[in-house]
Amino acid sequence: MGKGFYISKTLGIVGIVVGAGAVATIIALSVVYSQEKAKTEESAKPTNGITTTTTTTTTTTTKPLTTSAPQNPWNKIRLPDTLAPEFYNVALWPRLTPDPSGMYFFTGESSVIFRCITATNLILIHCNKLNLTTFGQNLAELIGHNGSTPPSIKDTWLEESTQFLVVRLNSNLEPGKTYELHTTFKGELADDLSGFYRSVYVEDTIEKVVATTQMQATDARKAFPCFDEPAMKAIFNITLIHSREYVALSNSPVYESINTTLNGQDITITKFVSTPKMSTYILAFIVSDFTYIEKMQDNVLIRIWARRKAIAANQGEYALNITGPILKFFEDYYNTSYPLPKSDQIALPDFNAGAMENWGLITYRETALLYDEKFSSNGNKERVATVISHELAHMWFGNLVTLKWWNDLWLNEGFASYVEYLGADSVQPTWNIKDLLVLNDVHRVFAVDALVTSHPLSSREDEINTPAEISELFDSISYSKGASVLRMLSSFLTEQVFIEGISTYLHKYAYSNTVYTDLWDQLQAAVDKHNTVILPNTVKEIMNRWVLQMGFPVVTINTVDGHVTQKHFLLDPDSNVTRPSIYNYTWFVPIDWMKSTVQQNPEWLLKVSDTKSNMQTTGNEWVLANVNVTGYYRVNYDSNNWDKLLNQLQTDHLVIPVINRAQLVDDAFNLARAKHLTTVLALNTTLYLSKETEYMPWQSAIDNLHYLFLMFDRTEVNGPMQAYLRKQVEPLFNYFANITGNWENVPNGHTDQYSQVIAVSVACRNGLPECNTLASKWFAQWMETPTANPIKTNLKSSVYCSAIATGGAREWDFGWEMFHNATIAAEADKLRAALACTKEPWLLNRYLQYTLKPNLIRKQDATSTIISIANNVVGQSLAWDFIRANWKVIFGQYGGGSFSFSNLINGVTRRFSTEFELQQLEQFKKDNENVGFGSGTRALEQALERTKANINWIKENEAPVLHWFKTFSQNI
C-alpha cells in the first residue's frame, strides 16, 4: 500500500445488484438463449408500420422521414449532455462453438441506470452491429427507477451512420430523476479484433477459442448498448455465462459462480463485484480455458494468465516477478494506493494492439507479456518490462483519472510512454533504460513531427469526432512526442516538483475526467509551493507552445558572437505550413548546455532570436547544447563549432556524453535533409564509429543511414555504401567476437548486448564474409538438428534474416516450418520477420498472399508482415502492388478504425523517391476515395509529402553522397 493519499478499493462501488431475483432473471434469460435456432432468426418482427431487417450483425429499422435532417441529434457524432449513466447490469453469453452456418455469436441483456440532467424526450445510446430484440414494437424498454415514472416510447431505430440506438419519447424525462433502459441482443463473436471478439489458437492439435474484448476507443458499443464516451463514467455489474470447462474474467473479482444445467448443457454463471466508476473503453471480459500463476503484493492479488502450455513452460514467471514491484513503484511515485483488489494480466493469441490497460484486467499480445530465456532475446525481455510498466502506469493516469475526450489522448498515452521507462528502471536498474527514450521516442517522432502534415498534441474537441478520427490519434505524436515533452517538463521543473504536481492531480480528480490544462494547474501549484524552480513564465504558458503547435524548433547557436535563434524545423524547408498557430511557431525553449567538458547554467530562449554572450567560444572550446537531449528540439551550430565537435569525436569521443554522441549524428543527418547542413558533414559524424562500442550512437547512425539505404539501395550508390559500412562495423564485429569467446558467451551489459546485435546485423546485411559464413553455418546446424537450435537468443533475428536472405527455398521452407512449430510468440515473431528477408520474388509473393489467410498469418500480424516484406528492396514493389490490388479486401477485413492502417501506409511507401512512385501514390488515393483509408488518412497525406521531399533530396544529394562513399569506403 502506498503512503500518502489512500483510495479505498470499495470507493465509488455500489451494492452488488445480483440478489436471488437477479439470479432467477439470468437463468431465465439463459433458457431463452439456449433455445435459439442454429441460424440467425429474426429478432424484431414488423409491427404497426415499423419494418425491421435482420442480418448476421445488425438490425436496421426504417427511420422516420424527419431523420434525414443533419441537424437532428442522432445525426451528430457526439452524445448530448442531457443524460448521464450511473451503473450498468450486463449479462453476456458467448458461444465458443460455431452454429451450423459457421458463425460464432454471443447473446446478452443489458440495463443501464441513467440520470436525466436536462429535460429531454430523446435517449441516444451507442449501439453497433448488434441485433436487438423488440419489446412490442420497440428495440428497448424504458423503466422507472427509484420511484420515477417513465414516459412512453414513441419510436425506436438504429442510426447506423452515427452508431446510435435512438429512443424517442412521447414526453420529457425529468431532470434529477433516474431511469432504466433495458435491451436484449445478439451479436457476432467475430475475429475482427475489436469489441467482443474471438481469438483462435491450436494446442495439442486441438483448436481452441477465446472470447475476449478490445473496447478502446469506440467498440464497447459492439458488446452491449452503452454511453460509449470516456466522460460517461459509470459502475458496471458484469455477469458472464459460459460452459463449465471455461473460466470467466472481468475487471473486478468474481463475486459468485453458479453451476447449473440448461437444456442438457452444463453451464456456469459467473458474477463479478461491481467495478469502480469508470469509462466504457477500459471495460473487459474474457472467457477461456487459460490457466494462471499468482502471488500477492501487499493486499493486491496479481495473476498472469495465458495458454496452459505457456504457463506450464514458465513463460509467465518474469511478468509475475516484476508486476508487484512495478505496482509498488507507481504507488510510491503517485503517492496514491493502487485502487483495485486485483491485477490480472492475460496474454492473448490474437490482439491488435500491443496491450490494453483495462482496469484490473490488462490484455496483451503474447510477445508483450510472455518471456522464456531459452527463446526470448534481451530485447524481448525489455519489451515485456516496458509494456507492463506502461499499462500499470495507466491504472492511475488514464483509468483513475481520465481525459474528458479523445482530443487529449496524448496526455494519457504520452504520460504512460514516459513513465514506462521509470517503472522498468525500478525493476531493472542496471539497464540504464531511461536513456533509451531518446532513441525510441524522441528521435523516432522527430521524423513525423517535422512534416507539415503533422498535428499538435492537443486538438480542439470539435476536431475529433468519428471513430476513424479518434483512431488516427493513436500515433507516434500522441505516444512519443507526448512522452518527450513531458520528460522535458519534468527536467526543467525538477523531478520532485513534477511528481508532486502529478500526485495532487490524481488526488483531486480521482474517478472523474479532466482536460490537459488541469494538470498544468496542479504543476503550477507545486512550483508556487516550493519556490525553488525559477521559470520564465507559467507552466501553462510554457507548455501550451509545445502542446498546441505541431512540430518543434531547431535552435541554432553561433559560437562566434553568441547569437542564438529558433525556427520551426521542417524536413522539407520549401513546404507550405497551412495550419495556423497563435504562437507563430515559436517556443519557450529550455537549453541545458556545456562548454567543452563543463556543464553550464541552463538558459531559456523565449523569442525568435537572442544573444547569449556566455555561449561565445575561444580557441579550442566548443559548445554542446541540449545535454542528454532533455529538450524536444534539434540543435545546429556555426561551421567552426561543428568542426570542433567532429574533431572531438575523432580524438576522444568519450568526452561527449553517450546520449549526445547519438544526438550529434541524428541532428546532423536531419539538418542535412532539411538543407541546414551539407550531407557530407552529416556523413562525417559517422567516421569515428570504428572506435565506438556503445549502442546508442551506433543505433542512431544505423537509423539515419537507413534513410540513405531506402533512397539509394536501387542505385549505384548502394555498392560503395555497403563497402563503407563493412569497414566501419568490422572493428565492432571483431570486438564482440573477442569478448564473447568467439560468440560463445553473452555480453554482460544490457546495451552491450544490443551493440553485439548491431555488430552482427550490420555486418551480415552489408556482406561481411565472416558474418554471412557464421550465420549460414549456425542455420545449417539448426536445419540438421531442428530440436537443438545453436543460435544465441539475442542473435536469432539477425542470423535468421541473413541465412534466409543468402539461402533459397529450402531455408525459407524450414523457417516457415519452425515458425508454425514455435511454442512462444517471441520466437514466432523473429521467424515471421526473417521470412521477409528472402531475395526470391516468388517466395515473397507467396508470403504476401499468406497475409490474407488468418490460418497462416494471424490478423494481428498481417500488416507488420507486409511492412517487413516492403522493407526488403526486392519486396518493396511486390508489397506495393499487393496493397493496391487488395486494398478493398484489407480495408474490409480490418475496418476503418483499425490502428494498423497508418503503419501499413507508412511502411510500404517509405522508399518512394521517384516521380513515377509519386504518381502511383496519387492514383492510389484517387482510386480508393470511395473505399476510404480510415485511420491511415493522415498517413497517406504524410506519405505524399515525404515522397515529394525524397525526390528533391535525391536530386540534390545523389552525386555528393556517391562521391563520399567511394572515397571513404577505400580510405577511412
The grid coordinates of residue 60 equal 436496421
Question: How many angstroms separate the CA atoms of 652 and 646, rounded?
Answer: 10
Q: Which of 310, 59, 61, 77 is nearest to 204 (CA)?
A: 310
Give how far Cα 308 sits from Cα of 91, 243, 289, 735, 878, Å: 27, 18, 8, 42, 39
Q: Which of 777, 483, 832, 765 is nearest to 632 (CA)?
A: 483
Q: Which of 149, 148, 151 is nearest to 138 (CA)?
A: 151
Is residue 951 classed exposed, middle or buried when 0-12, 13-18 and 19+ CB atoms within 10 A define those classes? middle
Please, are residues 739 and 747 in contact by the beta-carbon 8 Å criterion? yes
Question: How many angstroms separate the CA atoms of 690 and 904, rounded?
Answer: 35
Q: Which of 471, 529, 475, 461 is nearest to 498 (CA)?
A: 529
In the chain, the largest separation of any two C-alpha atoms, in whole Å, equals: 93
The grid coordinates of residue 95 equal 458461444
**Is residue 915 annotated as part of the catalytic site, yes or no?**
no
Cβ neighbours, 10 Å, residue 541: 14
Alpha helix segments (H runs only) across 766-855:
769-784, 796-806, 809-821, 825-834, 841-850
| Cα dihedral sign, 567-572-574-577 | negative
Residue reference for cell 543460435: 791
- Would you state the torsion angle of the CA atoms of residues 778, 779, 781, 784, taken in this order, to the nearest 10 degrees? 180
Q: How many Å from the N-terminal Cα to the C-terminal Cα in the chain?
A: 59
Question: How many angstroms separate the CA atoms of 905 and 896, rounded?
Answer: 13
The grid coordinates of residue 6 equal 489512500
Residue reference for cell 459457421: 102
Burial 74-100 (b: 16+ CB within 10 A, else e): beebebeebbbbbbbbbbbbbbbeeee
Helix or strand holding residue 759 (H, E)? helix 750-765
The grid coordinates of residue 946 equal 515525404
Bond before 248 cis per omega within 30 degrees: no
Please, are residues 447 and 518 in contact by the beta-carbon 8 Å criterion? no
The grid coordinates of residue 339 equal 485502487
Q: Which of 130, 120, 129 is nearest to 167 (CA)?
A: 120
Question: How many angstroms separate the CA atoms of 869 and 793, rounded?
Answer: 23
Q: Which of 252, 229, 265 is nearest to 404 (CA)?
A: 229
The grid coordinates of residue 201 equal 489458437
Task: Tell me which DSSP letter residue 757 carries.
Answer: H
Question: How many angstroms separate the CA atoms of 482 and 919, rounded?
Answer: 34
Question: How many angstroms separate the CA atoms of 278 and 282, rounded?
Answer: 7
The grid coordinates of residue 36 equal 435459439
Q: 125 forms bridges with which residues in the sheet? A: 165
Give how far Cα 919 sits from Cα of 136, 528, 753, 922, Å: 57, 56, 43, 5
132: helix, strand or coil: strand
Question: How many angstroms separate the CA atoms of 281 and 394, rounded?
Answer: 13
- Out of 109, 180, 391, 694, which one is annotated catalytic? 391
Please, are residues 684 and 747 in contact by the beta-carbon 8 Å criterion? no
Alpha helix segments (H runs only) across 291-375:
308-312, 317-334
Residues known to be catalytic: 391
